[in-house]
Amino acid sequence: MLAAFFLFERFKEDVCQEVIPVEASATTREKLKTRPLRLLWKDVREWFRENCYLYHKVYAAIYFHYYPEARYREVAAGYTSRQLEDLAAGTVGYYARSLDLLDHLSRAYNFKYLCFWQPALFTEPKVLPGETKIDVRLGDRKFTELYRLTNDCLAKARLPRVYNVADAVSQRNRPCYLDLVHMTEEGYGQVAARLYQVLRQEFAWRD
Could you report the per-residue pLDDT of 36-90, keeping only the tens digit for each?
A: 777 777 777 777 666 666 665 666 666 555 555 555 556 667 788 999 999 999 9
C-alpha 149/C-alpha 110 separation (Å) is 34
C-alpha separations of 134 from 157, 159, 199 in Å: 32, 32, 32
Q: Classify residue 189: in a domain, yes or no.
A: yes
Could you report the per-residue pLDDT of 18-30, keeping only the tens digit for each?
A: 454 545 566 666 6
What is the tally of structural domains in the chain? 1
Contact by Cβ (8 Å): 91, 150: yes
The residue range of the domain holding 156 is 79-202
The chain-wide mean pLDDT, for the chain, equals: 78
Residues 6+ apart with CB under 8 A from 185: none
Residue 62, pLDDT score: 65
C-alpha 200/C-alpha 196 separation (Å) is 6
Residue 108, pLDDT score: 96
Q: Classify residue 99: in a domain, yes or no.
A: yes
Could you report the per-residue pLDDT of 98-135, keeping only the tens digit for each?
A: 999 999 999 999 999 999 999 999 889 899 988 888 88
Q: Classify residue 72: in a domain, yes or no.
A: no
Tell me the pLDDT band of 8, cut-offs 50, 70 and 90: very low
* Total-model pTM: 0.60
Q: Classify residue 5: in a domain, yes or no.
A: no
Residue 1, pLDDT score: 41
- Percentage with pLDDT > 90 across the chain: 42
Q: Classify residue 67: in a domain, yes or no.
A: no
C-alpha 197/C-alpha 203 separation (Å) is 10
Q: Classify residue 32: in a domain, yes or no.
A: no
Residue 153, pLDDT score: 94
Residue 115, pLDDT score: 94
Identify which has the larger pLDDT, 3 or 142: 142
Q: Classify residue 7: in a domain, yes or no.
A: no
